[in-house]
A and B are shown apart, each in its own frame.
Chain A
Amino acid sequence: MAQSVAKPVEHLELGEREDIELNSLGMWVYLASEIMFFGVLFTAYIVYRHAYPQVFAEASKFLDTRIGSINTLLLLSSSFTVALGVNATQRGERRLSLMLLAITVILGLGFLGLKFLEYSHEIENNLFPGGSFNYPGTNPDQAKLFFSLYFVMTGMHALHMVVGIAFVSTVGFLTWQQWITPQRYAPVELAALFWHFVDIVWIFIFPLLYLVA
């Protein structure tokens, strides 16, 4: 090795390949953090469902299982398209990748649209546990706990969907700009990992909230 000339720095000794592994490891550690973030809500859910099983079963009937199921299908499909998108990027098929990322975003927006529709029905029916909460079933007090958990869990999830959509749109833009190449696609990989994680959270939210009865 020749005598060192000090250069300013990032990844001086690292190839791009290492870079992708480094970045995805970082994302995995962040996702561990995210698991704990949602984990608190699941813990609260378990504690209260254990305390009031009948109330939870009854309250769950007021959720729209049809929209919930369609939304699950949308999210599973979007995970599929984003995974294929990464795959296409690796193969250097830029147009295909761009299309798949766009479909992913559209599916995500579809999910949010349906979620919005669902929320507005629920708020109309006074199921939002704020001031005008008016639950027609028995035990309205404890049902309020169920709806509190429902709105917080799905709300946090929806927020993550918004972040995910922004993330995937950004890497879509970078792909379009040809910044992303088969040698440099870490952002696509990270966006996909995040997207899949948000999908997995929903995979658990769906049966635990919608299918209790």
Chain B
Amino acid sequence: MSSIALERYRRNYLNISYTARSWLLTTDHKRIAILYMISVTLFFVLGGIAAMMFRLELLTPETNLVRPETYNKLFTIHGIIMVWFFLIPSIPSILGNFLIPLMIGARDLAFPRLNLASWYIFMLGGLFTFIAVITGGVDTGWTFYTPYSSIYSNSAVVAAIVGVFVTGFSSIFTGLNFIITIHKKRAPGMTWSRLPLFVWAHYATSLILVLATPVLAITLGLIALERVFGIGIFDPTRGGDPVLFEHLFWFYSHPAVYIMILPGMGVVTEIISTFSRRRIFGYTFVAAASLAIAVIGFLVWGHHMFVAGESAYAGAVFSGLSFLVAIPSAVKVFNWTATMYKGDISFDTPMLYALGFIWLFTIGGLTGLFVASLAIDVHVHDTYFVVAHFHYIMVGSAVMAYLGGIHYWWPKISGRMYPEGWGKTAALLIFMGFNLTFFPQFILGYLGMPRRYATYPPEFQVLNVMSTAGASILAAGYILPLLYLLWSLVNGPLASDNPWKASGLEWQTSSPPPPENFGKIPQVTFEAYTFPVEQN
């Protein structure tokens, strides 16, 4: 018993100092991860409120809650915040930041000060976006398509663009930091083939962050220049081509989906291995699949533009390339399944999230094949079918993985256990609420309901009511973890160093870890996912 009492006073990264200064000027990757966690959660709440408002509007076919212009601003701000201020930073900047140095046996990232700067840049970008919201909002959709965004829209486009532009640099610096860290800061014996697959996934993600983000930044920058100075690169009245904007935008924004999903896959891989108590099946293939997804993800952007005026030849090329992404994605799903086969499976909360992830990712991925087919896409383009498809990937899969990861590493992050019963309840609520929200949207889209309208024909009402009802359940499911995780900070039982008997290096240091992560840099002598793990 006395050891547990001692535990409480053990020096760790949280209790080393309590001043605001020690948080705001920290270069400790773990504390920066917490800063990100707080700010990203706030953005998630904002984006969620916007979603809830337009879902309520969609209860009825007519507009009776908000005006159509307001509706446009709501879905735009929902998109901008959820994409750039929640999904992109969520897993990499929180879990990746916290865990990569712990997993590879390092004391910190390669550039700790740059890491802190990334957070400040992120917040600055958030500030601009917030300014855009309070100075009238933006109504272009998160895609900022020209010429509407550059010539016609009267809303705060420039402020929103500056927000996204600035945040982009935060992404680039984070990606750069991870790449160099993974190359240069691994502990002795931590070879590439011993890296946890979470780290591999983040390596692949970082490549995308570094190589795609600048393209978005300058492309959106060009819209701002057009609005401010009249420098019209995409202006069709001058012979410019708005489709070129779409090319450049999707060169970033398609790989951006893999920025959201790859880290999620990394999280799920860790969870499945731990709760099946087996080495991950086909380690090499899962690692290679991460890189393959990152690279192939750059070759498919034109499938967003089948009906936008790109040439039929380009459409065929992009359609064909898009199917290739299915291969490494399927490799991952099969390997997770094979890992569980004959495994000693336990259904703790993180595992529920991981299983939910596989389910939703499979639906999202398979419907991705529909929309990647030229002919079917002509029918479902810009309908709720597409909305449902990408929410299965970006919300269903990515958020499930994020929450699964938060629960799985919560003992390490906070030093406390969350209440298991509540955890399972929330996981089930989220899974059910999610499917009820978005499955009807597949049907709506297939029946022809276009996205981004505040009104719809009355025959679509039943499915829309189902969707809104699902969104309420989903909201409840998201609020629950927020409450009980905060509660557990004070009231949760103290966590042991390795409550899941997991195999990674991060579990070999104390919970929560000391500021320098490891008393002595570990010498790695074992392969990743070696079970059973001896308790020490």
Contacts and interface: CB of A to CB of B under 8 A. Distances in A.
A41 B212 CA distance: 14
Given A8-B515, A9-B107, A22-B184, A152 B233 contact: yes
Closest 3 CB pairs of A and B: A4-B520, A37-B214, A142-B239
23 contacts: A6-B516, A13-B521, A18-B184, A22-B110, A25-B184, A30-B176, A32-B211, A33-B213, A40-B214, A44-B233, A44-B244, A44-B248, A47-B244, A52-B239, A133-B230, A141-B237, A142-B238, A142-B239, A144-B238, A145-B233, A148-B232, A152-B231, A152-B233
A25 B215 contact: no
Interface in B503-534: 514-516, 519-521
Contact of B214 (A10, A34, A129): A34
A130 B248 CA distance: 23
Interface stretch (B128-136, B189-197, B217-225): B217-225
A40 B211 contact: no
Nearest to B230: A130
A36 B240 contact: no
A10 B232 contact: no
B9 interface: no
B67 interface: no
A127 to B, nearest CB: 12
Interface string B225-260: 100011111000111110010001000000000000
Contact of A9 (B172, B184, B225, B516): B516
Contact of A32 (B112, B210, B232, B514): B210
Interface in A119-172: 128-131, 133, 141-142, 144-145, 148-149, 151-152, 156
A51 to B, nearest CB: 7
A29 B210 contact: yes
A37 B251 CA distance: 12
B108 interface: yes
Given A40-B218, A148-B233, A26 B110 contact: yes
Interface of B: 27, 107-108, 110-112, 114, 172, 175-177, 179-180, 183-184, 210-215, 217-219, 222, 225, 229-233, 237-241, 244, 248, 514-516, 519-521
A36 B215 contact: yes
B210 A130 contact: no
Contacts of A1: 520
A39 interface: yes
A152 B222 contact: yes
A183 interface: no
Contacts of A152: 222, 225, 231, 233
A43 interface: yes
Interface of A: 1, 3-4, 6-10, 12-13, 18, 21-22, 25-26, 29-30, 32-34, 36-41, 43-44, 47-48, 51-52, 128-131, 133, 141-142, 144-145, 148-149, 151-152, 156
Given A25-B183, A36-B211, A152-B222, A129 B232 contact: yes
Q: Is the interface of A mostly helix, strand, loop or mixed?
A: helix
A26 B241 contact: no
B21 to A, nearest CB: 16
Contact of A130 (B176, B177, B231): B231
Contacts, number: 115
Given A29-B180, A34-B214, A141 B110 contact: no
A47 B519 CA distance: 57
A169 to B, nearest CB: 20
A29 B239 contact: no
Nearest to A52: B239
Contacts of B229: 128-130
With a 10 A CB-CB cut-off, give which of A29, A33, A39, A43 has the most chain B CB atoms: A33
Given A9-B516, A30-B176, A36 B214 contact: yes
Contact of A29 (B179, B219, B225, B237): B179
Contacts of B239: 48, 51-52, 141-142, 145
Contacts of B172: 30, 33
Contacts of B219: 40
A37 B179 contact: no
B232 A144 contact: yes
Contacts of B107: 9-10, 12
B27 to A, nearest CB: 8
Given A22-B110, A33-B210, A33-B211, A145 B180 contact: no
